[in-house]
A and B are shown apart, each in its own frame.
Chain A
Amino acid sequence: MDFISAFCSPGVFCQILLGLSRTVILFIVASGLSLILGVLRIPNIAHGSLYMIGAFMAYTVSRVFGGGITGYWMAIVLAPLGVALVSFIIERGIFSRLYEREHIMLFLLTFSFSLVFGDLVKMVWGAEYRSVSMPGFFQGSIPIFGLPFPIYNFFLLLMGPVVAIVLWLIVNKTKMGKISRAAAVDREMVGAVGINVSLVFCIVFVIGCFLAGLGGALVAPIVNVVLGMDHTLIMEAFLIVIIGGLGNIWGALLGSLIFGLTQSLGILIWPQFGIVFPYAAVVVVLSFKPTGLLKSTW
């Protein structure tokens, strides 16, 4: 009984909420990665770099608009659009010519892009730490059962479902979404019935990268915007996509939930080794379902 009452304590509740808010960032970034992986078959290592660029752009935009509340909202809107523009250029310029290549080749190409982007960020923004100010009404925390819960994390909790629903609408309710799902299964057939597959691919790629930029812009107020912030995230995003099922957006959601919640609850059980739990969960999932939890489009 002690165990049950301990598990229903406000501490655990808080921890679940914090885990869910972490899930949101992971989901936003991983769903973009998964979308690109599923439809275009590109394992995009540079996805993390686009997340980083999103955070840096958020910094610049919020600065341009005076750093306050307007600056923040403009950053949330404009930074992902900026990232989408960058991705549009590289998709049209380079990837669109290389879809037929082998995965390993695309893998290396996107890896080289992550290095190039890293250096570009350094050239544009420099190596200094940057900080995006938290807008006034997101500052501070509110008590939940006496424990302080950062207000911004509540905002993240709201953003998660919004992004998930919009993605669901795009994929299931639009013609473009239907074509992209079809193209994911059999791209030659879709081309054969007279649909401009290249255009669909371009749009999907840009949407996926937009999500990376959105993740970066959303995370910017709670972290130091700094070179190298892409590395840790891209690892986690790939693991999430793999345990969820390659190319399946709901798999990305499930994977993010597993990753975020095992982490936050793991910390409660054994804070000293809290890092281990999400990775242990990945091992467990892959030992029982090596292809991922949900149906992979590969």
Chain B
Amino acid sequence: MKRAMIVGLGVVLLGFLGVSFSYGANTIKVGFVDTYSGPASIYTFDVVDAFKMAIQGINAKGGVLGKKIEYTTRDEKFNPATGLAMAKELVMKEEVDILAGTINSATTLAVSDFAKKEKIPFLCTFAKSEKITGEMGHRYVFGVAENTRMIGKAAAFGIAKKPYTKFWMAGEDYEYGHAVNDAAWRYIKAMKPTAQLLGQTWWKVGEADIAPYVAPILQAKPDCLLMGTGGSGNANFLKLAKAMDIGKQLAVVLHTSIELSNLQALGKDAPEGVWGTVNYLYYYPETPENKTFVEEFRKMYNRPPKVGALYGYAAAQLIAKAYQKAGKVDKEKFITAMEGLTVDSPVGKLEMRKCDHQLMLPMFFGVTKASPQYDYLIADNIMTIAGKDYLPTCEEIMKVRK
């Protein structure tokens, strides 16, 4: 009886070993922790869908180092504590080689800290906190998406050239809103010393009727309004901007105002004449790379890709190419290979900057405009801002990291 138990236990143990061996031998595992339920999920599915599409292409060509890339997802329900527990579970139990995901900045910072302690590479594919690759950055974390500092600097880059001097900042009273506007204002002031800030207005996240907040801004008559809203707050503002025709009275800059998630949801209710920045537009630039990407994505998912798709696709390309360069599945070698790595993407070549592990994405600056071709508004008058022009400099990053 006892012997039978020992044998049985041995078989079970061998079974476990066999399983982990098979992982070790044939696949590279990527574990996504992200918000797949609730409002934020309208962004995150594009990330993982494009990632899936990209690794299918890579695996079809024989994978990397003879191994296939696999991925698994966990829904952290926008909860940092849950997200951290899931990241631990993915590393301890699933034995993933790489962690990825997270749209929630608090989750990202928690997972990033865990990745640092466990020495696991972690690719942040959406969260916008500038701390991720800024003051809290370290060897094991990589920023694949833009962050608030970059958003602010891109807005400043686009707007400082225009003849505006009187500014007002407004938005939702949470970290993202403040961080975006503070960064924008800091860089505008640096690029244009004559600029002055007339005032600022903040409302609660999820505020239903923001007209009482916005009306006094119009009375103050600034030249340019810097907006710091995100998610569903964008649409609340855009609807009011349409009703009050704000775009005609002053210039408005709102990150992602030209992005598909906002404009498609609003349809013809979106206002014309709102400036905005975004990393990806499926109809611009009209390059063969972008067209192929959009076609492939449409064929697979029957919808045009949104900005998250670029992040997911870039993450997959980075992982594959870094392992190729590293020559073996080794975490430290992977990190070293990632630094300074360049990959192809629908928006051209992207470099993973060595000094802060931030992907140098281009930013598109444009203005909303109705188009007879689409039943929603699109971006017009588009200017491409290269990564080197709006990423904070390496010196800036090193200064905040101290």
Q: Across the interface, which residues of B come within 8 angstroms of A18, CB to CB?
A: 209, 211-212, 215
Alpha-carbon distance A184/B242, docked complex (angstroms):
45
Residues of chain A at interface, number, CB under 8 A: 47
Q: Are A148 and B42 in contact (CB under 8 A)?
A: no
- Asked if B16 is at the interface of the complex by the 8 Å CB criterion, the answer is no
Residues from 232 to 251 in B contacting A, C-beta threshold 8 Å: 232-236, 239-240, 242-245, 249
Q: A47 CB to closest chain B CB, in angstroms?
A: 15
Q: Would you call B243 and A140 a contact (CB within 8 A)?
A: yes
Query: A128 interface residue, CB < 8 Å from B?
Result: yes
Instruction: Pick the residue among A227, A229, A263, A275 that contacts B173 (CB under 8 A).
Output: A275
Distance (whole angstroms) from the CB of B213 to the closest CB of chain A: 6
Q: Which residues in A have their C-beta under 8 angstroms from that of B200?
A: 271-272
Structural contact, A264 and B218, CB atoms closer than 8 A? no
Contact of B208 among A19, A134, A223 (CB under 8 A): A223
- Which residues from chain B contact A271 at a C-beta distance below 8 Å? 170, 199-202, 213, 216-217
Contact of B41 among A127, A131, A268 (CB under 8 A): A127
Contact assessment for B266 and A131 in the assembled complex, using a CB-CB cutoff below 8 Å: yes
List the B side residues contacting A272 at CB < 8 Å. Answer: 199-202
Instruction: Report whether B209 and A25 are in contact in the complex, using a CB–CB cutoff of 8 Å.
Output: yes
B372 on the A face (CB < 8 A): no
Asked whether B261 is an interface residue with its Cβ less than 8 Å from the other chain, the reply is yes
A147 at the interface (CB under 8 A from B): yes
Judging by beta carbons under 8 Å apart, are B216 and A268 in contact?
Answer: yes
Docked complex Cα distance between A264 and B236 (Å): 17
User: Count the B residues whose beta carbon is within 8 Å of the partner chain — how many?
Assistant: 45
B243 and A129: CB pair below 8 A?
no
Contact A229 B209 (CB under 8 A): no
B residues less than 8 Å from A139 (CB atoms) = 242-243
User: Of all chain A residues, which has the CB nearest B261?
Assistant: A129
Contact indicator A127/B39 (Cβ below 8 Å): yes
Q: Which residues of A contact B204 (CB under 8 A)?
A: 232, 275
Q: Is B380's beta carbon under 8 Å from chain A?
A: no
A141 touches B245 (CB 8 A): yes
Interface string of A262-298 (1 = CB under 8 A from B): 0110011001111100000000000000000000000
Select A227's contact among B38, B203, B217, B266, beta carbons within 8 Å.
B38
The docked-state distance in angstroms from the alpha carbon of A140 to that of B262 is 20
Q: For the complex, give the distance between the alpha carbons of A21 and B217 in Å.
A: 18
Q: Mark A99-134, 1 if CB is under 8 A from B, else 0.
A: 000000000000000000000001000011111011
Chain A min CB distance to B233 (Å): 8
CB of B208 within 8 A of CB of A127, answer no
* B94 on the A face (CB < 8 A): no
Taking the complex as formed, is A240 at the interface, i.e. its CB lies under 8 A from any CB of chain B?
no
CB-CB < 8 A to B235: which residues of A? 129, 131, 223-224
Interface check B268, CB cutoff 8 A: yes
Tell which of B206, B245, B249 touches A228, judged by Cβ atoms closer than 8 Å: B206
Cα distance A271–B216 when bound, in Å? 8
What's the Cα separation between A153 and B38 when bound, in Å?
A: 30
Q: Give the residue name and chain of the A residue nearest to B199 (CB).
A: A271
Q: Complex: how many Å from CA A141 to CA B236?
A: 16
Given the complex of chains A and B, what is the CA–CA distance between A275 and B199 in angstroms? 15
Q: Is the CB of B42 within 8 A of A127?
A: yes
Q: Quick check: B216 and A267 within 8 Å, CB to CB? A: yes
* Chain B hits for A14, CB < 8 A: 215, 219
Determine whether A85 belongs to the interface, using a CB cutoff of 8 Å to chain B: no
B239 CB contacts on chain A under 8 angstroms: 131, 134, 221-224
| A residues in contact (CB < 8 Å) with B | 11, 14-15, 18-19, 21-22, 25, 122, 127-131, 133-134, 139-141, 147-153, 219, 221-224, 226-229, 231-233, 263-264, 267-268, 271-275
15 inter-chain pairs at a CB distance below 8 angstroms, sorted by A residue, are A11-B219, A15-B215, A25-B208, A127-B42, A128-B42, A131-B235, A141-B245, A148-B244, A149-B215, A150-B244, A219-B208, A222-B208, A232-B204, A274-B202, A274-B213
| Chain B interface (Cβ < 8 Å from any Cβ of A) | 37-39, 41-42, 170, 173, 199-209, 211-213, 215-219, 232-236, 239-240, 242-245, 249, 261-262, 265-269
Q: Which 8 pairs between the two chains have the least Cβ-Cβ distance?
A: A224-B235, A264-B212, A271-B201, A150-B243, A232-B206, A129-B265, A224-B232, A226-B232
